Chain A
Amino acid sequence: MRTRALGAVLVKGGLVGGLAGCGGTQSALDPRGPAAATIADFSWILFAGAAVIFIGTMALAAYGVLLPDRTKGVPPIRFILWGGLVFPGVTLLVLTVATAMVGNAVDFRTHPEEPLRVTVVGNMFWWEVVYPDLPGGPLVTANELRIPVGRPVEVTVTTRDVIHSFWVPALHGKMDLIPGRMNRITLIASEPAILRGQCAEFCGEQHAWMALFVVALDPAEFDGWIARQQAVPEPPDPADEQLVRGRTAFLEAGCGTCHVIRGLAEGPYAAVGQLGPDLTHVGSRLSIGAGVLPNGVGPLAAWIAGVQDIKSGARMPSYSTLDGETLTALARYLESLK
């Protein structure tokens, strides 16, 4: 705790002014959970230690250069022995033990509370998020990980294509997504927050737009969210012709070959595709395209007609072949899926 206060003082003092912009939703220096807090504390200790050693070394060098007479008598072997072997040896030993202890402290596998289990599957360039064992059956969503505050969340990460890395700096360190492997990292959020995570292993042209929002909610709110997400959306009100048209258009344009909308699994154009994010409740998300646009009718229409302008290289074609009325209807329909 004291070291974090030191860090705060350093930041406020402008000594590390460059880091001052690192507060906010995606910063390891602004931790919102115990693991990230421990890591941040340890980082400040390392930073302070490195600063002391650096200053000490520079002072010795200056001493030797400016006052050669005083240092002439010291045999070089003594410097090499103490400064080159004993001191670094002891420091590295202490750091090795400390690192192992920090590693243990941020590993919540032995946490007494039963964790919430989530699977995060990396895709170029979006995240599938699966809650496999909820009481009401599994839930699939995308690009947004909602978790209850205080409870450990065991995230199993894997990938459908290349290596990605799962990193929510305000909660924990990085965990790689490796083809054919299931890696685990357990997160705990200590307060309600909307945090941003980011793919941290270069995975292709849109790697930079492979973001993930983590929303930590009070447990009761979290349960409400799960219940809403598990519900199959009501079919649109037949009186709202535009929404009905949007739903038909979704199926007829073939969107269902890549996307799932639960409740649209029947008929010749079932929405059961597995190549893109599940859109059952896409209207409830904070963003679309893994953080590239905010949500809403305008951004949805822009995405559908111009995804290759917005996120070139994304694995979805631009649908600027749809006529204007259909495009608007489709965007309104998707936005209505709350």
Chain B
Amino acid sequence: MGRGPLRIAATAVLGLSGCVALAACGDGNAVQGNREVAGGEAARGKAILTANTHGCGGCHTIPGIPNAHGTVGPPLHGMALRGYVAGRLPNDPGNLVRWISGPQEIDPRSAMPDTGITTAEAAHVAAYLYTLRDIPK
């Protein structure tokens, strides 16, 4: 009976330290490099992806976008963490916008077509993709 409070305290300490340890693990994958897209607004990018005007969601699974569960291309979660864009270009804002607005200029053999998206729209979309920081474990 006398040991009750002690045990509770011990459990609390253990529990707390567990939380701290877990919290420290949460951000294991750090964003490397610049993720600020000039002229890009994430909210507008999200609206463009939701309207699916360029078919992005038909080919890609994109977190946060309803009806975007394509499997033709890679899923776009964690785009802020990726080392490379499409395995070809170092992942930085300029290259991501370049890829989205004109993948065929980078590699005409890619299955991702030039969709006709403008550079301004691509910047908004890139800004949204850079809000994606989770890779499912």
Contacts and interface: CB of A to CB of B under 8 A. Distances in A.
Contacts of A179: none
Nearest to A300: B55
Nearest to A319: B72
Contacts of A324: 109-112
Interface in A269-301: 293-294, 296-301
Contacts of A297: 55, 113-116
Q: Is the interface of A mostly helix, strand, loop or mixed?
A: helix
B54 A296 contact: yes
Interface in B47-89: 51-59, 69-72
Contacts of B114: 297, 328
B95 interface: no
Nearest to B110: A324
A325 interface: yes
Contact of B72 (A296, A306, A323, A325): A306
B109 A325 contact: yes
Contacts of B56: 298, 302
B117 interface: yes
Contacts of A293: 52, 55, 58
B104 interface: yes
Contacts of A305: 59, 72, 111
B55 A299 contact: yes
A320 interface: yes
Contacts of B53: 294, 296, 298-299
Contacts of B109: 323-325
B39 interface: no
A75 to B, nearest CB: 62
A328 B58 contact: no
B18 interface: no
Nearest to A326: B111
Nearest to A325: B109
B68 to A, nearest CB: 10
A113 interface: no
B108 interface: yes
B96 to A, nearest CB: 17
Given A323-B109, A328-B104, A309 B69 contact: yes
A332 interface: yes
Given A293-B52, A301-B55, A320 B113 contact: no
A301 B59 contact: yes
Contacts of B59: 298, 301-302, 305-306
Contacts of B71: 306, 309
A164 to B, nearest CB: 23
Interface string A300-328: 11110110011000000010100111011
B76 to A, nearest CB: 14
Interface in A216-262: none
A331 interface: yes
Contact of B58 (A302, A325, A327, A332): A302
Nearest to A329: B113
Contacts of B72: 302, 305-306, 309, 318, 320
Q: Which of B58, B111, B115 has its CB near the most chain A CB atoms (within 10 A)?
A: B58
Nearest to B104: A328
Contacts of B55: 293-294, 296-303
22 contacts: A293-B52, A293-B55, A293-B58, A294-B53, A296-B116, A297-B55, A297-B115, A298-B56, A298-B58, A298-B115, A298-B117, A301-B55, A301-B59, A301-B112, A302-B56, A302-B57, A302-B72, A305-B59, A306-B58, A306-B72, A309-B69, A323-B109
Given A294-B55, A296-B54, A298-B53, 19 more contacts: A293-B55, A293-B58, A298-B56, A298-B116, A301-B59, A301-B112, A302-B72, A305-B59, A306-B58, A306-B59, A306-B71, A309-B72, A310-B70, A320-B72, A323-B111, A324-B111, A328-B104, A328-B108, A332-B113
